[in-house]
Every structure is written in structure tokens, then in C-alpha cells.
Amino acid sequence: MPSSRVFVGGMNVPAAIGRASASAPLAELVLDDAKVTLRPRSLARVMLSDFAVRLDLVEAAFKVRGNFGASGVGFRLHGGGIAYFWTGSEQDEVLAALISRGVVLEPGTMPARTQWTLKRAKVGSPVAALSPLFQRLAPFLVGFSVVVLIVLWQVAEEWWLRIAFLVLWAVSAATTLALWWFSRQASAEAHPG
């Protein structure tokens, strides 16, 4: 039986809303006999949770070429999701470890197409969520942003600058609250009870 393997690199995975990303070397791929886990490291761990998928839910793995020449491994998941692990020099080792665990390899190198989106993940699909720390802090951060908005409103002398601050605040507050809400739901689905 193959043992657990750990590779250091970057990750880009489906999230509660859009995608979660951590550039190399802020992520690691942990591969054991039952699942593949893309795990944030260091400072990225403060913001993001793990993305874990059972190996039987990985439809296929393939070499992937990203923006600016980045290379890595893509995972096509049952249900249509795609996850990426960015690793330059260990691409072949990651693929060999996956193949030894029964994952199908697609030939050739594919371009990374779904790195950025604002779509919500399908219900029941594996997702990375905000870390538990950020889930607890999100409402306070929105409250703090109200204070910042009031200060900027007072400092701005031009009416159009005040409107710009208000619009920017509204968009960032709505995004933060949506990420918080959907991350809480994703965490509840992943850990019922």
C-alpha cells in the first residue's frame, strides 16, 4: 500500500463563492490512500480551510499549464468541479503518486481555464471555506469597515469621492458578508452536527 505523500506548492480550488487560491509555497497537497487534500500553509492557513476530496470522487488528473508559465496538476471532480495544485518541478511525482492510487491520468497538458469565477459552488460539492478564525471575525470586520467609511466620508471634500467610498464600502461589505454566510453553510455541510 502506498504511504501518505506531501508536496508543497500552490492551490486554486472551488470555494463557497468563486474560488480560493494560495500561491506557491503557501499550500500543500497531502495524498493518502483515501483522499487528496489541498491545504493552505503559513499565513494562508489563517484565511482558508482545507479542500479535501475522496479519491473515488476524482474523475481524472492531468498536467496543467497556468498563467505566466505556471505548471501543476489539475483534478477533474465528479460533478464538474476542477481543482489545481501548482507545482513546477514535482508535477510528474504528483501524477505518479495519484496513478499509484488508482486515479486516471488524462494525456497531454491542459490550460487552466477556471481559475477565476464568482459562481457559487454546487450544493454537495467539495469547497474550501474561510478559516474558522475568519468566519468568527467577518461580522466584526464589516462593523469596523463602517467606522472606516465614516472617517473617509468626513475626510473627503468632493461629493464624487464620498459616493466612490460609499460604493466601494457597499461592495466590499456585501462580498464579505456573502463569503461569511456561504462559508458557514459549507462548513456546516462538511461537519454536520
Comparing 130 with 38, which gets the higher pLDDT?
A: 38
CB 44 within 8 A of CB 140: no
Please check whether residue 32 lies inside any domain of the structure. yes
pLDDT at 191: 57
Q: Is the pLDDT of residue 102 over 80?
A: yes
How does residue 187 score in pLDDT terms, banded at 50, 70 and 90?
low
pLDDT, tens digit (0-9, with 9 covering 90-100), for 47-101? 788 888 999 999 999 999 877 777 899 998 887 788 999 987 899 999 999 999 9
pLDDT at 1: 47
Comparing 12 with 176, which gets the higher pLDDT?
A: 12
CB 138 within 8 A of CB 129: no
pLDDT at 134: 75
User: What crossing angle do the helices spanning 132-155 and 159-190 adopt, rounded to 10°?
Assistant: 170
Please check whether residue 65 lies inside any domain of the structure. yes
pLDDT, tens digit (0-9, with 9 covering 90-100), for 118-168? 555 555 556 666 677 777 777 888 888 888 888 888 888 888 988 888 888
150 in the same domain as 96 = no
Q: Average pLDDT, stretch 108-125? A: 61
pLDDT at 7: 95
Please check whether residue 142 lies inside any domain of the structure. yes
pLDDT at 190: 60
Comparing 188 with 48, which gets the higher pLDDT?
A: 48
104 in the same domain as 138 = no
pLDDT at 188: 66
Please check whether residue 59 lies inside any domain of the structure. yes
DSSP states along 64-88: EE-GGG-EEEEEEETTS-EEEEE-S
Please check whether residue 122 lies inside any domain of the structure. no
30 in the same domain as 93 = yes
pLDDT at 124: 53
Comparing 115 with 156, which gets the higher pLDDT?
A: 156
Please check whether residue 57 lies inside any domain of the structure. yes
Distance of CA 170 to CAs 16, 117, 165, 173, 177, Å? 20, 20, 9, 5, 11
Please check whether residue 74 lies inside any domain of the structure. yes
Domain residues for 35?
5-111
The neighbour count for residue 17, using CB atoms within 10 Å, is 20
pLDDT at 93: 94
What's the rounded Cα separation, in Å, for the pair 42 and 24? 11
Domain holding 88: CATH number?
Answer: 2.30.29.30
